[in-house]
Amino acid sequence: MYLIISAILLPFAAAALIPFIHNKLGRLNIGWLALAAPLSLFAFFLYQIPAVSAGRTFKETLHWLPSIGIDMTVYLDGLSLIMALLITGMGSLVILYSIYYLSSTDSLPHFYAYLMLFMGAMLGVVLSDNLMVLYVFWELTSISSFLLIAFWYHRKNSRAGAQKSLLITVFGGFAMLAGFLMLHMMTGTFSVRQIAVELTQYTSHELFYPAMFLVLLGAFTKSAQFPFHIWLPDAMEAPTPVSAYLHSATMVKAGIYLVARFTPVFGGNSAWFWTVTLVGLITLFWGAFCAIRQTDLKALLAYSTISQLGLIMSLLGLGSAAIHAGDSTEGAIYGLASFAALFHMINHSTFKGALFMAVGIVDHQVGTRDIRRLGGLMAFLPFTFTIALIGSMSMAGLPLFNGFLSKEMFFTASLQVLDMEIFGLGNWGWIIPVIAWTASVLTFVYCAIIVFRTFFGAHKPEKLDKIPVEPPMGMLISPAVLAILIVAIFFFPNVLGNHLLRPALSGVLPGITGAAPHIEAWHGFIPELWMTVGIIVFGSILFISFRKWKGIYNLIPAGWTFNAAYTSFLNNLEKNSRYFTSSYMTGHLPHYFTYIFSFFVFVAGGTLMWSGAFHIDVSNDSPLSVYEVLLVAVMATAAVAILFAKSRVSAILLNGVLGFSIAIFFVLFRAPDLALTQLVIETVTTVLFLVCFNHLPDWRKENSLKHVKVRNAIIAVTGGLTIVLIGLSVNSTDMFETISSFYENSYELTGGDNIVNAILGDFRAFDTMLEGLVLFIAGIGVFSLIRLKVRKGPKNDEN
Amino acid sequence: METLIIILVGVLTAVAIYLVLSRNLIRVILGTAILSHAVHLLILTMGGLKTGTVPLLGEAETVYVDALPQALILTAIVISFAVTAFILVLAYRAYQELGTDDLEEMRGANDE
SS3 letters across B50-106: CCCECCECCCCCCCECCHHHHHHHHHHHHHHHHHHHHHHHHHHHHHHHHCCCECCCC
- Could you tell me if A207 and A143 are in contact, meaning their C-beta atoms sit under 8 angstroms apart? no
Closest B-chain CA to A701: B24
Mapped to the 3 state alphabet, what secondary structure does A195-242 carry? HHHHHHHHCCCCCHHHHHHHHHHHHHHHCCCCCHHHHHHHHHHCCHHH
From the list A696, A747, A756, the residue facing B95 with the nearest CB is A696
**Among candidate residues A767, A293, A228, the one with its CA nearest the CA of residue A556:** A293
Kindly report the nearest CA distance between residue A663 and chain B, in angstroms: 10
Is it the case that residue A798 has pLDDT exceeding 50?
no
User: What is the SS3 assignment for A76?
Assistant: strand
Kindly report the nearest CA distance between residue A563 and chain B, in angstroms: 27
pLDDT tens by residue, A280-293 = 999 999 999 989 88
- Could you tell me if A130 and A71 are in contact, meaning their C-beta atoms sit under 8 angstroms apart? yes
Give the integer Cα–Cα distance in Å for A219 and A211.
Answer: 12
User: Cβ contact (<8 Å) for A597 and B51?
Assistant: no
- Which DSSP string do the residues of A140-158 spell out, in sequence order? HHHHHHHHHHGGGTTSHHH
Residues 6 or more apart in contact with residue A662 via CB below 8 angstroms: A635, A678, A682, B37, B40, B41
Give the integer Cα–Cα distance in Å for A720 and A772.
Answer: 32
User: Cβ contact (<8 Å) for A754 and B50?
Assistant: no
From the list B18, B33, B67, the residue facing A685 with the nearest CB is B33
Closest B-chain CA to A792: B97
pLDDT tens by residue, A670-683 = 888 899 999 999 99
User: Cβ contact (<8 Å) for B58 and A753?
Assistant: yes
Per the document, the length of chain A is 799
- Could you tell me if A405 and A347 are in contact, meaning their C-beta atoms sit under 8 angstroms apart? yes
User: Cβ contact (<8 Å) for B10 and A716?
Assistant: no
Closest A-chain CA to B67: A756
Mean per-residue pLDDT of chain A: 87
User: Cβ contact (<8 Å) for A588 and B104?
Assistant: yes
Taking the whole predicted model, whether its pTM rises above 0.95 is answered as: no
User: Cβ contact (<8 Å) for B74 and A674?
Assistant: yes
**Among candidate residues A429, A357, A292, A462, the one with its CA nearest the CA of residue A94:** A357
Is it the case that residue A795 has pLDDT exceeding 50?
no
User: Cβ contact (<8 Å) for B84 and A685?
Assistant: yes
Quote the percentage of chain A above a pLDDT of 70: 97
Residue scoring higher pLDDT (A577 or A740): A577
Mean pLDDT throughout A729-749? 82
Mapped to the 3 state alphabet, what secondary structure does A654-723 carry? HHHHHHHHHHHHHHHCCCHHHHHHHHHHHHHHHHHHHHHHCCCCCCCCCCCCHHHHHHHHHHHHHHHHHH
The number of angstroms, rounded, from the C-alpha of A446 to the middle of its chain's C-alpha atoms is 32
Is it the case that residue A799 has pLDDT exceeding 60?
no
User: What is the SS3 assignment for A139?
Assistant: helix
Residues 6 or more apart in contact with residue A362 via CB below 8 angstroms: A297, A369, A374, A377, A381, A384, A454
pLDDT-derived band at B108, boundaries 50, 70, 90: low
From the list A674, A699, A721, the residue facing B10 with the nearest CB is A721
- Could you tell me if A234 and A209 are in contact, meaning their C-beta atoms sit under 8 angstroms apart? no
Q: Which residues pair with A76 in a beta bridge?
A: A58
**Among candidate residues A149, A206, A151, A145, the one with its CA nearest the CA of residue A172:** A145
Closest A-chain CA to B88: A692
Per CB-CB distance under 8 Å, the chain A contacts of B86 are: 778, 781-782, 785
Give the integer Cα–Cα distance in Å for A73 and A128.
Answer: 6
Interface test with A, best of B4, B6, B29 (most A CBs within 10 A): B6
Residue scoring higher pLDDT (A104 or A640): A640
Residue A13: its pLDDT value, please?
93
Give the integer Cα–Cα distance in Å for A260 and A342.
Answer: 9
The number of angstroms, rounded, from the C-alpha of A580 to the middle of its chain's C-alpha atoms is 26
pLDDT tens by residue, A442-480 = 999 999 998 888 888 888 777 777 778 888 888 899 999
**What is the number of H-type helices and E-type strands within chain A?**
35, 2
Kindly report the nearest CA distance between residue A649 and chain B, in angstroms: 12
pLDDT-derived band at A23, boundaries 50, 70, 90: confident
Give the integer Cα–Cα distance in Å for A249 and A241.
Answer: 11
Angle between helices A336-366 and A78-101 (to 10 degrees): 10
Residues 6 or more apart in contact with residue A417 via CB below 8 angstroms: A318, A425, A429, A432, A433
CB pairs under 8 A between A and B: 270
Mean pLDDT throughout A755-772? 89
Per CB-CB distance under 8 Å, the chain B contacts of A738 are: 66
What ipTM did this prediction achieve? 0.92
Kindly report the nearest CA distance between residue B8 and chain A, in angstroms: 6
Kindly report the nearest CA distance between residue A738 and chain B, in angstroms: 9
**Among candidate residues A532, A305, A303, A521, the one with its CA nearest the CA of residue A415:** A532
- Could you tell me if A414 and A436 are in contact, meaning their C-beta atoms sit under 8 angstroms apart? yes
Mean pLDDT throughout B44-49? 84
User: Cβ contact (<8 Å) for A684 and B81?
Assistant: yes
**Among candidate residues A244, A226, A220, the one with its CA nearest the CA of residue A359:** A244
From the list B20, B95, B104, the residue facing A593 with the nearest CB is B20
**DSSP symbol at A753:** S
**Among candidate residues A310, A312, A340, the one with its CA nearest the CA of residue A493:** A340
